Amino acid sequence: MRQAGRYLPEYRASRERAGDFLTLCKTPELACEVSLQPLARFPLDAAIVFSDILTIPDAMGLGLSLVEGVGPRFAKPIRTSEDVRCLGEPDPESDLGYVGDAIRLIKRELNDSVPLIGFCGSPWTVATYMIEGGSKHDFTLIKQMLYSEPALLHQLLALLARSSSSYLLAQIEAGADAVMIFDTWGGVLSTPAYHAFSLHYIKQIVTAVNGAVPTIAFTKGGGQWLDSIADIGCSAVGLDWTTDIAKARSRIGARVALQGNMDPAILRADPVTIAAEATAIVEAFGTHPGHVFNLGHGITPDIDPDNVAVLVDTVHSCSATILASPKIDNE
């Protein structure tokens, strides 16, 4: 997550040339350029298209701005049934074509060296920004709508699920080899509310993708709901670092692959600690197939790229050692 980002000096240079974050996302040549930067530096196993989870509400005309240090802001947040009624479903080609164009450029450059991951936000997560009007940590307005006008919120979430489905299908059509659904804020819900207002709509997207490519569902803070997430038909479940990956594997079994789950804060430590923590995660998962190592959240701007190199090297060498060892499943 944030494989391309402000921790890389070459990214900061591209961003400066673009002027702002949204221009970087919306200019396929620049999005391609920054998507490939981490792969030029590190022997990574996959690329991820440089974009943002708020492209859909931006295409719906909500007036997105992304201010550094402040986060996203919508000029026209969604608060009333009239607001929801006026929203249209963006066309993935005419309204969001820049993402498909970026994917096609990246695929050409990658030339099948590694797979490319596309993504979208979960309907619940995207709706939190649309309703709150930006980054909030209390979710006052969307929770008020959830408990006072659930039908209205469901109407918005259903529209977002349809829009996200056609958006991911367009990304796959353009060449994405796998797609990930980021549910950054599902973890602020009660168990029944999570199932009804977040997971239900993630499942609709996974169902629409219909196995065209592998799908990865990730709810930050969703460790308690892994069993339900594994049951929606996705190929892999993302884990944040609060979940014990060995326990997750024994709960989930071989139904789905698991992706995760190092705390990105560890990248601030010394190389020895980084290597030890990464090794612990790879070893905890064991010899069972189906582990995609990654961070449980985005890399922050203050991280030294050399520390990311230590992480990537450790994961590769440690995985090779484990996979070469006698195949005794430690379940």
Which residues of the shown chain bind its own copies in the complex (CB under 8 A)? 137-140, 143-144, 146-148, 187-194, 221, 223-224, 241-244, 247, 263, 265-266, 268-270, 273, 277, 280, 300, 302
Q: Which is nearer to its own copies, 22 or 269 (CB)?
A: 269
Question: Is 162 in the active site?
Answer: no
How many Cβ atoms sit within 10 Å of the Cβ of residue 2? 19
Q: How far is the CB of 34 from its own copies (least distance, A)?
A: 23
Q: Which is nearer to its own copies, 193 or 208 (CB)?
A: 193
Q: With helix as H, strand as E and coil as C, how does 9-63 read?
A: HHHHHHHHHHCCHHHHHHCHHHHHHHHHHHHHHCCCCCEECCCCCCHHHHHCCCC
111: phi then psi, degrees, rounded to nearest 5: 50, 45
Q: How far is the CB of 329 from its own copies (least distance, A)?
A: 21
Question: Is 11 in the active site?
Answer: no
DSSP class of 290: -
Antiparallel, parallel or unpaired: β 71-74 and 64-67: antiparallel
Q: How far is the CB of 220 from its own copies (least distance, A)?
A: 11
Sign of CA pseudo-dihedral 5, 209, 60, 86:
negative
Distance CA 318, CA 331 (A): 19
The distance of Cα 313 from the centroid of its chain, to the nearest Å, equals 23
Q: How far is the CB of 207 from its own copies (least distance, A)?
A: 25
68: phi then psi, degrees, rounded to nearest 5: -60, 135
Q: Which is nearer to its own copies, 40 or 272 (CB)?
A: 272
Q: How far is the CB of 263 from its own copies (least distance, A)?
A: 5
Question: Is 129 in the active site?
Answer: yes
Q: Which is nearer to its own copies, 137 or 327 (CB)?
A: 137
Catalytic residue (one of 7, 11, 129, 194): 129
Distance CA 163, CA 238 (A): 22
Distance CA 36, CA 78 (A): 35
Whether 117 contacts 177, CB under 8 Å: yes
Catalytic residue (one of 7, 11, 52, 249): 52
Q: Which is nearer to its own copies, 198 or 319 (CB)?
A: 198
- Which residues, 6+ apart, have CB-to-CB distance to 180 below 8 Å? 48, 117, 118, 119, 215, 216, 217, 218, 238
Whether 62 contacts 88, CB under 8 Å: no
Q: How far is the CB of 293 from its own copies (least distance, A)?
A: 15
Q: How far is the CB of 183 from its own copies (least distance, A)?
A: 13
Q: Which is nearer to its own copies, 2 or 143 (CB)?
A: 143
Q: Which is nearer to its own copies, 50 or 241 (CB)?
A: 241
Three-class SS state of 74:
strand
Question: Is 249 in the active site?
Answer: no
Structure tokens at 135: 């980054």
Question: Is 2 in the active site?
Answer: yes
Catalytic residue ranges: 2, 6, 15, 52, 129
